[in-house]
Amino acid sequence: MSAKATTPPEKMMFQLTLRRRGISEQAVLRAMEEVPREAFVQERDRADAYRDSALGIACGQTISQPFVVAYMTEQLKLTKAHRVLEIGTGSGYQAAVLSRLAAHVVTIERFRTLADSARRLLEARGYHNVEVMLGDGFAVPEQLGRFDRIIVTAAMTELPEELVQRLEPAGILIAPVGPHHGVQTLVRVVRTATGFDRKELVDVRFVPALPGIAQQL
């Protein structure tokens, strides 16, 4: 089902739900409207693409519910000048949304199957400012440098200091922090002139972030 085939009521309810739940940044709402979520879910789930719920994808992973995608994106306070790092590509949906708001997105995925499929899909859909890398989100290559924004889309039991240090001055990081098989809290870290400001936001549930590149899949 293409974006054009999606019935107007589904699209309208999709946007209305985001607004009702507190998403108010017009650029974020516009990005959520422009990126066809049905293209990033499994074929069997396309009829449910615009429901506000997480859906399963390959490799035992998930595509986050639209509200969480929009909320995390809004908290990043993106501009067209920003360079963004995403840990956990998944289907590529979050990266596609980020690409509408930032200059460049580097997204790292530990599952080769997901990295390859997301890369093909993003390229085919014209998201040319997204770079998909197969790699370990706990060991971001040094040559990638620092980033204006960092978003983690899998649960970390704690934030690695090495990742926080990859923020540029005034940079923002957002990540779900907490137990792997339970409720996590979205944490926002802002790099200031004197250190780092950390704030807890809302409770969420994400699949675990694991170190290393997956040996299979």
CA distance 2 to 102: 25
CA distance 213 to 62: 18
CA distance 100 to 102: 6
Burial of 182 (0-12, 13-18, 19+ CB in 10 A): exposed
Structural contact between residues 79 and 172, judged by C-beta atoms closer than 8 angstroms: no
Structural contact between residues 63 and 41, judged by C-beta atoms closer than 8 angstroms: yes
24 as an active site residue: the answer is no
Structure tokens at 166: 């990859």
CA distance 126 to 113: 20
Of the candidates 24, 53, 64, 91, the residue annotated as catalytic is: 64
**What is the set of active-site residues?**
64
